[in-house]
Amino acid sequence: MLVIEQFFNHNYYMTSKTLKSKAMRHQLLLIIAIILVAAIVLPQFSAFSGSLSKITNLEVPLAGLSLFLIICTYFAGAGTYFFLAKKPLRYFLTVIVQFAAMFVNRILPAGIGAIGLNFGYLKRFGHSNIQSATIVGLNNLLGFFGNMLIIFAALVTSGISWPKNSAITINWLFLLIALPGLILLIYFMVNKKRRKKIVKSIKNIKSLLLAYADTPSVLIKAQLSSITLTLLHMLSLMLSMYAVGGSVSLAVVVVVFSFGVGVGSSVPTPGGLGGVEAGMVAGFVAFGMPANTALAGVLLYRLISFWLPLIIGGLAFIYVQKNGYIRFRNAR
Residue 312 — φ and ψ, nearest 5°? -65, -40
Using DSSP, state whether 49 is helix, strand or coil: helix
Residues 30, 173: Cα–Cα separation, whole Å? 20
- For the stretch 111-169, pLDDT in tens is 557 888 999 999 999 998 888 888 988 898 899 899 999 988 887 776 545 566 565 55
pLDDT of 99 above 90:
yes
pTM: 0.78
Find the range with the poorest average confidence among 74-83, 94-103, 198-207, 319-328.
198-207
Residues 6, 95: Cα–Cα separation, whole Å? 22
Residue 5 amino acid letter: E
- For the stretch 214-244, pLDDT in tens is 888 999 999 999 999 999 999 999 999 999 9
Residues 276, 258: Cα–Cα separation, whole Å? 10
Residue 202 CB coordination number (10 Å): 10
Of 291, 299, 259, 281, nearest to 33 by C-alpha is 259
Residues 10, 259: Cα–Cα separation, whole Å? 32
> Are 93 and 100 contacting, i.e. CB atoms less than 8 angstroms apart?
no
Q: How many helices (H) and strands (E) does the chain have?
A: 14, 0
Domain boundaries, the chain: 47-322
Residues 120, 97: Cα–Cα separation, whole Å? 10
Residues 301, 299: Cα–Cα separation, whole Å? 5
- What average pLDDT does the segment 314-328 reach? 88
From residue 268, give the alpha-carbon distance in Å to each of 106, 198, 233, 256, 276. 12, 23, 21, 20, 11
> Are 238 and 82 contacting, i.e. CB atoms less than 8 angstroms apart?
no
